[in-house]
Amino acid sequence: MGIYPPSLEKLIEQLSRLPGIGQKSATRVALYVLRSDRDLAEGLAASLLEVKEKIRFCSTCHNLTDDDPCAICRDGRRANGSICVVEGPGDQLALEASGIFKGRYHVLNGVLSPLDGIGPEDLTISHLLRRLEPEGIEEVILATNPTTAGQATASFLAGLLSERHPRITVTRIALGIPMGGDLKYMDQMTIEYALRTRLPVTP
Amino acid sequence: MTLHSSSAIIMRTWEFGESDLMVSFFTPKGGCLKGVAKGARKSRVRFANCLDLLCFTRLEYEQKKEDGLYFLHSGILIHAFPGLRADFSSLSLASYMIELTEILFPVGVAAERMFDLLQGALSALDEEKQIDSFRILFEAKAMTLGGYGIDLSRCCVCGRTYQGEGRALFRRGKGGIACLKCGQESERSPGLGPATVNALNAIQSTSWDTSQALGLSASMIREIKPVLKHHIEYRIGQRLKSAEFLSG
Ligand SMILES: [Zn+2]
Ligand SMILES: [Zn+2]
């Protein structure tokens, strides 16, 4: 089927299985690897195996880490009574990069998605509940994405938390017009949300 | 290439390539279609929040060469059914509706009435959390539109016209009901009272709004639920993933 020699076709096929990489990009990457020095291929292959061997999930927050528990879970200064719940390690990184949040995280490893057969049991929700008391959590910040699945997951967690831990404050990251956005290009739901959750301005 | 403009319900999305989104969507004229929204994950301007699961949108698209895929040009969100995002059981039922639609109306089968049903059902579920009765209404109507309506007019064994005299029982192999002279109620052949048969008949033959106004009683729901469960399992031959999150 392929126009390239079998071994090259195989590499293209493997690469195109990666998220965000289509057939075209995979071909480009494969041809680049082929043209480069042997060092590149060896380094790449070694790193791929190394992450599989070394990187694991933190047994407390389920984030990716070299050591278990991860640096944030080990850091006593991060135990400030708040926990920020995110969908995946990428979301945790984005929040951490901002440097604003000083508490701890909990990675759900996905979102509720009945269409794909993913329910509450498939996420790290029960583990989140078990962390709350021992870590003296006073606020849970729900930072799942504002998509259908992310919103449904946040609603589900909010319900569960208010039922099981009524004293804990549950908050949701703000949704609405993004910084640098333009009202003319916003959909009606975003505008409705932005208006409903407007904040008083103090001069 | 003709540019289509149509209302659509977003059924599934997948990340595709570096910044594209693959979308399967249901339209009144074309049924279930698949398309690529170029750059939709980076720039949200052409598709402002309209390619999310279960959104009711207006899409502009044209057919790509011969592979059956479409290019999505732009879209506008009409309604996002926020109620479905606020409750897991509502999301589960909405997902179940999508899954059943995908099976009954595979890619490219035109289905205007199915579109109306899906839209009506999602709107109703968005407003009210009546999981059991909406599930029944949707199942019975969707199966009928898909060509698998339950024959409630006569006994499927002796052929006698059913006129509401006494209970009847469901025969899944025949997709119809039988009179009590021709069989016995059992777990596999659940029974239905005359009022329930009437109600099921009305659900199969009227619009969503009319059926919703019927106001099914709890006992009717209890009787119809196993009938539709057996019927769908027998006709579809598979268990839907989202059914796991619905009770019963
Ligand atoms: Zn950790
Ligand atoms: Zn009979």
* ipTM attached to this prediction: 0.89
What residue has token string 């480069």? A36
- Name which of B85, B89, B135 to mutate to probe chain A: the one with the most chain A Cβ atoms within 10 A of its Cβ: B85
Distance CA B120, CA A117 (A): 24
- Domain layout of chain B by residue ranges: 3-80, 83-150+181-245
Token couple for B126:
């968005």
What's the CATH architecture for B3-80? Beta Barrel (2.40)
Find out whether B231 and B172 touch, Cβ atoms under 8 Å.
yes
Distance CA B89, CA B97 (A): 12
Work out the average pLDDT over A147-152.
Answer: 95
Give a three-class secondary structure readout of A95-124: HHHHCCCCCEEEECCCCCEHHHCECHHHCC
Q: What band does B171 get if pLDDT is binned at 50, 70 and 90? A: very high
* Minimum CA–CA partner of A190 in chain B: B49
pLDDT digits (tens, 9 = 90+) for A96-136: 999 999 999 999 999 999 999 999 999 999 999 999 999 99
Lowest mean pLDDT among A39-48, A67-76, A139-148, B67-76: B67-76
What residue has token string 């070299």? A66
DSSP-H helix ranges across chain A: 6-16, 23-35, 38-54, 71-74, 89-98, 125-132, 148-164, 188-196
Q: What is the pTM of this model?
A: 0.88
| B45 vs A contacts (CB less than 8 Å) | 185
Does position A1 have pLDDT exceeding 60, yes or no? no
B83-150+181-245: which CATH topology? Answer: de novo design (two linked rop proteins) (1.20.1440)
Q: What CATH number does domain A6-54 carry, 3.90.1150.10, 1.10.8.420, 3.90.1150.30, 1.10.3720.10?
A: 1.10.8.420
Q: What band does B247 get if pLDDT is binned at 50, 70 and 90? A: confident
Distance CA A120, CA A112 (A): 6
Q: What is the pLDDT of residue B46?
A: 79
Q: Which CATH class is domain A78-172?
A: alpha beta
pLDDT digits (tens, 9 = 90+) for B2-55: 889 999 999 999 888 778 899 999 999 989 999 999 888 877 677 878 899 999
Please give the distance, rounded to the nearest whole angstrom, from the Cα atom of residue A57 to the centre of ligand 1: 8
| A114 vs B contacts (CB less than 8 Å) | 91-92, 95-96, 241-242, 244-245
Token couple for A79:
């135990």
Does position B123 have pLDDT exceeding 80, yes or no? yes
pLDDT digits (tens, 9 = 90+) for A49-102: 988 888 899 999 999 998 999 999 999 999 899 999 999 999 999 999 999 999
Distance of CA B25 to the CA centre of its chain: 14
Q: How many CB atoms lie within 10 A of CB B50?
A: 26
- Domain layout of chain A by residue ranges: 6-54, 78-172, 174-203
Does position B248 have pLDDT exceeding 70, yes or no? no
Cα–Cα nearest to B48, from A81, A188, A85, A120 = A188
- Name which of A187, A192, A193, A195 to mutate to probe chain B: the one with the most chain B Cβ atoms within 10 A of its Cβ: A187
Ion ligand 2, residue ranges at CB < 5 A: B 155, 157-158, 179, 182
